[in-house]
Amino acid sequence: MYIYIYIGYKTAVIGDRVTNNLQLIAHKSWFVKCSISLLFLVALVTQASTSSWTASVSNTTDGTTWSIQRHSATVGFDLSGSAEGKIAPISVTPGGRVLSAHNSHYTKVKANDVQLEESTAAFEGTYRSEDKITLRAEAEKNVNITITKPSGSNVWTIDLEENWPVTIKASRIIDYSGKGINDRDCAANNFDRVGNDFLYNNEFSKARTTNLRLDRMNATVVATNDTIIRADFMPTKSLYYQIESHSTGIADLSYKQTNTERKVMNVGEERYLGNYNINRSIGMKSNFSDYTVEQDWLSCCGSVSSELNPVNCQRWNPYEKFSGGDLFARVV
């Protein structure tokens, strides 16, 4: 009976024997520093390096599996912009060809499963918008794996520790009056999500602020040679979202919060048709604390147990342990 563990492009088999050392492979590529200035829009991307890693645990006895994929970068991004005017048809050829009045806006920023995405499409009318986005992400530290198996036990514990923090702060203001506007946005942080859709509005306004933060991520998989007993995904994170809006069409508001099994724990959906002033404040937070534990069986490096290779025991950094935490959700 074997449990297969895959990190990056390296495969190891544990169970009755160890066939290879577990390693993390980080793949990086470099991008040049650039800046864009257009109309009232200013965006700056600092020098960035990207990193990614994948881990999976599979049991060949009953076919149970657990996997995780992560992608981030060491990057800074700042955007600020504004637009004000009238959306109107324009003549583009001497023969009088006219392009219909239209305005569109799309933004997506993402690092390590922390994401803000928004889109707006409007027809003829008066339009004003203001935007500000700040992204900070780091992906320089090694991702640590710790594998423990007490002597005489058939239970394996695989701990993964990632310290790739991300922060996204953003605000957006829209004020519109005209023949129709659709506006959508979504803020997500490691399976937690808040989203709003405002559709078919002739009069529309909103002021939205978003604050997303990821401090670190820990994951623990507990397995035997027969099955995966438990798998916990434990990011220390927060999501705060606040909106004040006026809608004259359809307004769909939703949110969800997940637990350590990546299953939905708290969820909400609302729909409003007609003329409404809608204000909403949502906060979600999960916090998991690190602590150090020294266990007797780890002295195997001095007197080697039958299950473990002493070289592997040293590389696993067994004194790094993780436990405990809490989940918090607030909707106003």
pLDDT tens for each residue of 48-78: 456 888 888 888 788 888 989 999 999 999 9
pLDDT score at 286: 94
Long-range own/partner contacts, residues 268-273 (CB < 8 A, 24 or more apart): 268/331, 272/247, 273/249
Domain-embedded: residue 300: yes
Coil vs helix vs strand at 227: coil
Average pLDDT, the chain: 78
- For residue 59, what pLDDT is reported? 81
Q: For residue 200, is it within any domain?
A: yes
User: Higher confidence at residue 110 or residue 294?
Assistant: 110
| pLDDT on residue 49 | 56
292 pLDDT more than 70: no
92 pLDDT above the threshold of 90:
no
Closest to 69 (Cα-Cα) out of 57, 55, 49? 55
For 228, the 3-state DSSP assignment is strand
In this structure, is residue 5 part of a structural domain? no
Q: Token digits for 210?
A: 């978003």
Q: Is the pLDDT of residue 134 over 80?
A: yes
CA separation (Å) from 326 to 104, 113, 119, 318? 41, 20, 34, 24
In this prediction, residue 231 carries a pLDDT of: 94
The count of C-alpha atoms lying within 13 angstroms of the C-alpha of 219, restricted to the half-sphere facing its C-beta, is 20
Q: What is the pLDDT of residues 194-245, one digit of tens each?
A: 999 999 999 999 999 999 999 999 999 999 888 899 999 999 999 999 999 9
pLDDT of residue 138: 95
Task: Domain count for the chain, please give it.
Answer: 1
Contact 235, 284 (CB under 8 A): no
Question: In this predicted structure, what is the pLDDT of residue 27?
Answer: 30
Note whether residue 254 is domain-resident.
yes
Distance in angstroms (rounded) separating the CA atoms of residues 202 and 247? 8
Q: Is residue 14 one of the residues assigned to a domain?
A: no
Average of pLDDT values for 26-36?
A: 27
What CA–CA distances, in Å, run from 135 to 120, 138, 167, 173, 193? 21, 10, 6, 19, 18
* Mean pLDDT confidence for 21-38: 27
Q: So what's the pLDDT on residue 290?
A: 59
**Of the given ranges (32-46, 134-148, 158-172, 179-193), which has the lowest mean pLDDT?**
32-46
pTM higher than the cut 0.85: no
Give residue 201's pLDDT.
Answer: 98
Strand partners, 42: 37, 80
Q: What percent of the chain has pLDDT over 90?
A: 55
Is residue 149 domain-resident? yes
Identify the domain containing residue 125 by its residue range.
72-88+98-331
pLDDT at 229: 92
Other C-beta atoms closer than 10 Å to the C-beta of 14 total 23
| 102 is a domain residue | yes
Q: Which two tokens stand for residue 126?
A: 């008066």
Lowest mean pLDDT among 86-100, 233-247, 289-303, 304-318: 304-318
SS3 311: helix
Predicted confidence at residue 55, as pLDDT, reads 86
Q: Is the pLDDT of residue 326 over 70?
A: no
Number of Cβ within a 10 Å radius of residue 262:
13
Mean pLDDT confidence for 91-116:
92
**160 burial level (CB within 10 Å; 0-12, 13-18, 19+):** buried
Residue 169, pLDDT above cutoff 60: yes
Rounded Cα gap, residues 177 and 201, in angstroms: 8
Q: Is 25 domain-assigned?
A: no
Question: Which residue in 285, 283, 235 sits closest to 260, CA to CA?
Answer: 235
**Residue 108 exposed, middle or buried by CB count within 10 Å (0-12, 13-18, 19+):** exposed
**Residue 159 predicted with pLDDT over 80:** yes
Q: Taking 50 as the threshold, does the pLDDT of residue 90 lie above it?
A: yes
Residue 304: φ, ψ to 5°: -70, 130
